[in-house]
Chains A and B, each alone.
Chain A
Amino acid sequence: MSEPVLTLRGAGMSFGERTLWAGLDLDVRPGEFIAVLGPNGAGKTTLLKAILGQQDLSDGTIEFLGQPVRRGHRKIGYIPQQRLMESGTPLRTRDMIALGITGHRWGLRRESRDERRRIDALVDEVGASTFATAPVASLSGGEQQRARVGQALASQPALLLCDEPLISLDLRHQRGVTELIDAQRRKTGAAVVFVTHDVNPILDVVDRVVYIAGGRFTIGTPDEVLRADVLSDLYGTPVDVVRTMGRIVIVGSTEATAIGEGEHDHAHHHADADADPEGPIR
């Protein structure tokens, strides 16, 4: 088996008394699609921050490509939540994707012919040709996320970190963006770590699930983890997992919202954004 892209050993994250997760061992292999699930405030985004070296672990180690993580990395492609660009952002879609290749470069050297070809290929690949010259501020949420995927892929990453990239997209675009990410990891062998509060849009493509809740976690295939007995044990309270019409719905017996699965949770998620200790990645 090939060397893991990302290795966590005994990783723990605590804020004072509160432990988000501890003793996390995880090897992410090239091309593997890992979903990080759990309720709001469980520490999903904090895990991404730790992988990006923006938040130090309380315990244990994280290695990316055999090196301890540092602040940001060229070989990590990061796809954040959709956030509409303000009008007056001086970029067109193609320029935004190009930043993935040239954005780290000092000075004004123009793109080489080779790089231009690569950018054109990326624009094509993420289905952005029809809006390549449109101002980024004029893009719809789905179009913008395609551009972000293109930008993230531009540096030929070994790892794609996705932080709720499907949030506030309609079902059609959720599927489109998911298929795009899935196709790319199969083609390029980039591993995917995908943080989401709703597993359904990505259920068909997920290899393994890391489910974090209440300071504990479970790792396994979706079939191993998304089960009533496993999740009840994890939450420490009776939880039912209902499979209906190809979707998985996780319901808690007492406080359904605390578990936070399903679409009704979107509003809840936004309302809680300020109280959430995680916040967006900086």
Chain B
Amino acid sequence: MNLDVLTHILSFQNFGELVVLVRNSIFAGALLGIVGGLIGPFVITRNLPFAVHGISELSFAGASIALLVGVNVVTGSVVGSVLAALLIGVLGNRARERNSIIAVLMPFGLGLGILALALYQGRAANKFGLLTGQIVSVDNPQLGWLLAISAVVIVTLLVVWRPLTFASVDPDVAAAAGIPVRSLSIVFMLVLGLSVAVSVQIVGALLVLSLLVTPAAAALRLTVSPIWVPVLSMVFAVVSVVGGILLALGGGLPISPYVTTISFAIWLVCRLVGGRREKRRPRRTTVAPTAVAEKVAVDA
């Protein structure tokens, strides 16, 4: 590889000064990591990775239209993704039905976004930023938005954590126990829409999956503990975003390739480690049913 390209990709000139300049972005990135890492395990157990991708395209459409008509881009992005999330949540009850609805919505959203961008006369950097991520720049009002939305997502998830877990792994049994499975599903789609909207601001619509799915998928290769999965997933996501922002500083390139590469590398390592552990684990011997039957008989 040409050395110039390499130094362009990884440059640490004036690193200390730059870090101070992008303090906001690092803060926003860490917050985003927490949101993505926390919601990721639910996205996987509820079989929604494709929905995340679909929502992000409509989020892009909303943001582009907002850019064109000159209103707040975050608002546009939130409106687009929440609308998409609710549509998918209400119309797509079964996985197959849901996937085709997403596949219908996604190109429509993308097309709408491209139209809005083509009509937009402003700075070109803003255009691609929405699709592929920003060159590090989060200003103060934008940070305020991200903070508020992330707080809503995190608090909501923590409140509904247990019923949502039950409803996600076993909807029939949860419904029988009187858990409001349907309402929880709508609430989840709402917070998913919000999470996608904030992620689009940093990594761009095309790369949201690297924050909302990859870290959780990596964590699930290592453990199935209901405590460690979200914790690891959050750590992985925060490392990916903050690491990506820091590495991107010198080169003046978008942060998204750095974020996606770190996130992918973590997943790869977890996969290898997880696979090796599974091989090493001795085969679990199943309990002899007669012994159990006797035990139950004694208990009774």
Contact = CB atoms under 8 A, between A and B. Distances in A.
Interface of A: 52, 54, 70-74, 76, 78, 80, 85, 88-92, 95-96, 99-100, 102-108, 125, 127-131, 134-138, 140, 142-143, 146, 148, 151-152, 155, 161, 172-173, 175-176, 179-180, 183, 186-187, 280-282
A73 B174 CA distance: 10
Q: Which 3 A-B pairs have the closest CB atoms?
A: A72-B178, A78-B176, A127-B292
B173 A78 contact: yes
Given A106-B163, A108-B158, A282-B175, 15 more contacts: A78-B173, A80-B172, A89-B45, A90-B45, A90-B165, A103-B163, A106-B162, A107-B159, A125-B296, A131-B286, A134-B284, A151-B173, A172-B289, A187-B299, A282-B171
Contacts of A108: 158, 161-162
23 contacts: A52-B176, A76-B177, A78-B172, A80-B173, A89-B45, A89-B224, A90-B220, A96-B169, A99-B165, A103-B162, A106-B163, A107-B158, A108-B161, A125-B296, A135-B224, A142-B289, A146-B292, A151-B173, A155-B177, A176-B289, A183-B297, A183-B299, A281-B175
A146 B288 CA distance: 13
Contacts of B172: 78, 80, 280-282
Contacts of A135: 224
Given A143-B287, A173-B289, A175-B289, A104 B220 contact: no
B300 A74 contact: no
Interface in B149-163: 158-163
A155 B297 CA distance: 22
Contacts of B226: 90-92, 95
B284 A71 contact: no
Contacts of B297: 179, 183
A101 to B, nearest CB: 10
Contact of B293 (A78, A89, A155, A175): A175
Nearest to B225: A92
Contacts of B299: 125, 183, 187
B96 interface: no
B83 to A, nearest CB: 25
A180 B296 contact: yes
A88 B45 contact: yes
A102 to B, nearest CB: 6
Interface string B221-261: 00011100100000000000000000000000000000000
Interface string B5-39: 00000000000000000000000000000000000
A156 B171 CA distance: 20
Contact of A104 (B159, B166, B287, B295): B166
Interface residues of B, number: 41
Nearest to A180: B296
B162 to A, nearest CB: 5
Contacts of B176: 52, 72-73, 76, 78, 161, 281
B113 interface: no
B44 interface: yes
Contacts, number: 145
B173 A148 contact: yes
A222 B289 CA distance: 27
The dominant DSSP class at the B interface is: helix
B109 interface: no
A71 B225 contact: no
A72 B177 contact: yes
Nearest to B228: A90
B285 interface: yes
B300 A183 contact: yes
A102 B165 CA distance: 11
Contacts of B286: 130-131, 140, 142-143
A106 B166 contact: no
Contacts of B291: 127
A51 to B, nearest CB: 10
B231 to A, nearest CB: 11
Contacts of A99: 162, 165-166, 169-170
* A52, A96, A104, A137 pick with most chain B CB within 10 angstroms: A104
Contacts of A138: 284
Interface in B108-126: none
A242 B267 CA distance: 59
Contact of A131 (B158, B170, B224, B284): B284
* A90, A96, A125, A180 pick with most chain B CB within 10 angstroms: A90
Contacts of A155: 177
B181 to A, nearest CB: 8
A136 B285 CA distance: 15
B91 to A, nearest CB: 16
B162 A90 contact: no
* A95, A128, A186 pick with most chain B CB within 10 angstroms: A95
Given A78-B177, A130-B285, A176-B289, A103 B296 contact: no
Given A91-B224, A99-B166, A137-B224, A187 B158 contact: no
A281 B176 CA distance: 9
A67 B162 CA distance: 27
Interface in B270-300: 284-287, 289, 291-293, 295-297, 299-300
